[in-house]
Structure 1
């Protein structure tokens, strides 16, 4: 009985070709990211402690949305953070 020929394997790309080279974030990225999260939290806390008198009285309950919006921008920055 004739022997079958071995199959040729496809050439594998080298490991360096498969991994992307990421540059680390600039030095200001981490303080801004954490700063936005803290400012958003402090905005909401200030609104509740002052019974809606601060930070912007004209916005009324929209101050909560503003605080969460600021904090969410900081949290979204964490998805792009590289060290």
Structure 2
């Protein structure tokens, strides 16, 4: 089996500079805790609300005056609600 190369020990001047550089570069990282239940509820609620908006638009959109006046904007509203919920999942812990 081949023998590994032996590393040279650094001199005291370079060792102290390396120790100072590594000590100054290490910083404490604040660990974020889990998301609150309110955040999770809003996230899931937005996705479900967007889905329900689209389903209601398909099934009864011509019978509801507000949805009828919005026309194709209903698709934008439904998808925007779902995308907002999906974007919230990126910050969910």
- If the length of structure 2 is used for normalisation, what is the TM-score? 0.66
Match of 1:56 in 2: 67
State yes or no: 1:20 paired with 2:30: yes
Does the CA-based 8 Å contact 1:47-1:53 persist in structure 2?
A: no
Does the CA-based 8 Å contact 1:52-1:60 persist in structure 2?
A: no
- Distance in 2 (alpha carbons) for counterparts of 1:24 and 1:57: 42
Does the CA-based 8 Å contact 1:39-1:71 persist in structure 2?
A: yes
Does the CA-based 8 Å contact 1:52-1:61 persist in structure 2?
A: no
State yes or no: 1:77 paired with 2:91: no
SS at match of 1:24: coil
Does the CA-based 8 Å contact 2:61-2:67 persist in structure 1?
A: no
Match of 2:49 in 1: 39
Residue correspondences, number: 76
* Structure 1: gaps (5+ residues): none
Q: Which has the larger radius of gyration?
A: 2
- If the length of structure 1 is used for normalisation, what is the TM-score? 0.73
